[in-house]
Structure 1
């Protein structure tokens, strides 16, 4: 049994209602703007899958989280992106809880208890700006902070219950500093604006979330010292890359499965592509099994895996589409959609070309510096 088949079994065992919905729904329905996939993910208990048992969640391991994302990605790319945003946010909160002031633990318990979906406003992909420096500003006032800024794109924009955001705090006195704010969707001043114009991944709800003078009390903002801030970024990026890689790997596994169902792969073609995808999955498994203490080494390793996956998945997709043939490509929107979606893997931060310099420094024995 392949890793992808085991992943599908894990989805059926962990979230049977979601597995049934994904199996019984047409691809176009799952990927359309009116898709109910995110709502089913939530109602099926998906919000608590990665939350540790001590906080009331299902407590899936990092490797199980990878498998779950693979299975979801194979059925619905949009849901994989949206669910991945939530899982990344949960993982980051749990990493922060190791050194936090208790707020993170309380939030995780509330997320599990009330089955809340969490979106993220951390790295912002703006040309020429560092992904580590937040463009969201929190100005200190007497009873808390007022936060303003825009996160775009932000998946789960409509369905999120909570937003976790890295902010640049402007205190009444002293120098600005980094912090993490936890904001309820119901807070006054939060709005969602249309942003996503691409014809694919529409069901991921990747729109612009606008924060305009949103009040957040002191209790909902976590001050992070410089060392902890850096470690939080490292841990967050490791989880983000792991979850994102799993999602796109699952999408290509789903593509191969669809091509096999059409009888378009000969024995040699089938074996070759399964070997490539299985090797990719084992690379992610190696990272997932070493997630107790995320270091610069872990980050460099997961980035290396991610950039290698970009090339492998692009090659596999192109080869499979050529075997599928023009008539199948023309007669269904599935294949054209997958072709576009897989290309989007390149656009997730940090971009490969931007990291060549820092990775070369790391491979030469120096510290890895994020851009």
Structure 2
């Protein structure tokens, strides 16, 4: 991938966004407060993964891998942040397709058609914690007896939460009063919901990955969903995180290709080492596409989930190799003169920190190998 191809891929969905990304300096795209997310919101891309009958673009997983890689080539912040939107969007689409209530279905269609931005509030930034074991709580709201709609009161915090300053809604996981996992679709302007800036990393500042605080935030009970009811066998959750794994990996592969292209500036290079770096990117891009072809619908096999986790584990090592190779190749001249090259090399380190953790990955893969069953969580928590 080069700039021309990345621009062409994005222009198939939005010419204005493609032109903006091509013509805007990387430092401007990646800074806190960048316009990139607003430009993305104004395009057709918020509905990319939604089917056309719901007002979306109906993009296939293979299409989305290509798209997120192209976004990652220009703006890793935008690619990473919007991957979280697509994760929430898929959950919303699943609900719209499964509900028998026509009003609920029309609400889903209206959200997609309006280009609503959906933040994904599952991480809690707790040492040793897990996105699959929320600590945020939800209890029934007080019944004032006047026939008002039932509510759920949410308390806790989510961090880092991408798109936190641009979100219209956020999908937030919590434990109900019976210690059961549940998810709430929370309007961003809900009283008791606030955003605290916490991101101090030198990269991905444009992703708006801040902390969302819930302080007695009341949401309609009709916008909450028990995992036991909505996803009793965990298949939808597994499929959603499979898509997340594919798209977040594609985003970083796009960034890795940009780093290589920044390095290959016509100056002297050890081309053997350069090709080694390119080979790692090409191999893992092919692996992602193969995984996408094995997930044509809303379900995915347990063995395929484990295979993708193994691919992601391999990609972490491969990106570390790419960083080492490019750092060796760039030399003092490029290091001192090419800020974009340095930035994209630094970005690649962040892939390591996306869920699931290494401990969760090892546990889930080993369990699947021994039992044939895959689970991100203990079945009693699901």
SS at match of 2:366: helix
Number of residues of Structure 1 aligned to a counterpart in Structure 2 = 366
Q: Please give the residue correspondences for 1:73-222 in structure 2 after superposition, counting only pairs within 5 Å.
A: 73-100=72-99, 102=101, 105-141=105-141, 142=143, 143-170=150-177, 175-222=178-225
Aligned partner of 2:241 in structure 1 is 237
Quote the Cα distance in structure 2 between the aligned partners of 1:332 and 1:82: 25
Checking the alignment, whether the CA contact within 8 Å between 1:30 and 1:36 is kept in structure 2 is: yes
Is residue 315 from structure 1 mapped to residue 318 from structure 2 by the alignment? no
Is residue 346 from structure 1 mapped to residue 361 from structure 2 by the alignment? no
Aligned partner of 2:281 in structure 1 is 277
What is the TM-score of this pair, normalised by structure 1?
A: 0.91
Kindly provide the CA deviation profile for residues 216-269 of structure 1, in whole angstroms up to 9, marking residues without a partner as x: 112211233175262233122212211111111111011112222344545544
Quote the Cα distance in structure 1 between the aligned partners of 2:4 and 2:253: 13
Structure 1 residues 329-338 or 319-328, which shifts more?
Answer: 329-338
Checking the alignment, whether the CA contact within 8 Å between 1:264 and 1:323 is kept in structure 2 is: no
Task: Label 1:262 to 1:73 Cα distance change in 2 as closer, same or farther (>3 A).
Answer: farther
**Displacement, 1:70?**
0.2
The two structures, once aligned, show a CA RMSD in angstroms of 2.3
SS at match of 2:232: helix
**Displacement, 1:281?**
0.8
Quote the Cα distance in structure 1 between the aligned partners of 2:20 and 2:364: 43
Quote the Cα distance in structure 2 between the aligned partners of 1:361 and 1:210: 35
Quote the Cα distance in structure 2 between the aligned partners of 1:235 and 1:96: 13
Quote the Cα distance in structure 2 between the aligned partners of 1:236 and 1:264: 44
Kindly provide the CA deviation profile for residues 84-125 of structure 1, in whole angstroms up to 9, marking residues without a partner as x: 111121123223444445577444312222111110112434
**Displacement, 1:335?**
2.9
**Displacement, 1:4?**
9.2
**Displacement, 1:152?**
0.5
| Aligned partner (choices 250, 254, 257) of residue 253 of structure 1 | 257
Checking the alignment, whether the CA contact within 8 Å between 1:157 and 1:209 is kept in structure 2 is: yes
Checking the alignment, whether the CA contact within 8 Å between 1:190 and 1:209 is kept in structure 2 is: yes
Kindly provide the CA deviation profile for residues 271-325 of structure 1, in whole angstroms up to 9, marking residues without a partner as x: 4333321111110001111222223222212111111111111211221232122
SS at match of 1:196: coil
**Displacement, 1:79?**
0.9
Quote the Cα distance in structure 2 between the aligned partners of 1:65 and 1:4: 18
Checking the alignment, whether the CA contact within 8 Å between 2:136 and 2:155 is kept in structure 1 is: yes
Quote the Cα distance in structure 1 between the aligned partners of 2:54 and 2:130: 34
Checking the alignment, whether the CA contact within 8 Å between 2:124 and 2:157 is kept in structure 1 is: no
Checking the alignment, whether the CA contact within 8 Å between 1:4 and 1:253 is kept in structure 2 is: no
**Displacement, 1:336?**
3.0
Checking the alignment, whether the CA contact within 8 Å between 2:171 and 2:184 is kept in structure 1 is: yes
| Aligned partner (choices 313, 337, 341) of residue 335 of structure 1 | 341
Checking the alignment, whether the CA contact within 8 Å between 1:8 and 1:68 is kept in structure 2 is: no
Specify every segment of 5 or more residues in structure 1 that has no aligned partner in the other structure, as ranges.
none
Task: Label 1:120 to 1:101 Cα distance change in 2 as closer, same or farther (>3 A).
Answer: farther
What is the TM-score of this pair, normalised by structure 2?
A: 0.88
Checking the alignment, whether the CA contact within 8 Å between 2:50 and 2:57 is kept in structure 1 is: yes
Task: Label 1:5 to 1:67 Cα distance change in 2 as closer, same or farther (>3 A).
Answer: farther
**Displacement, 1:365?**
4.4
Structure 1 residues 102-111 or 152-161, which shifts more?
Answer: 102-111
Checking the alignment, whether the CA contact within 8 Å between 1:3 and 1:278 is kept in structure 2 is: no
Task: Label 1:359 to 1:4 Cα distance change in 2 as closer, same or farther (>3 A).
Answer: farther
Checking the alignment, whether the CA contact within 8 Å between 1:92 and 1:239 is kept in structure 2 is: no
SS at match of 2:176: strand
Specify every segment of 5 or more residues in structure 2 that has no aligned partner in the other structure, as ranges.
144-149, 378-382
**Displacement, 1:146?**
1.1
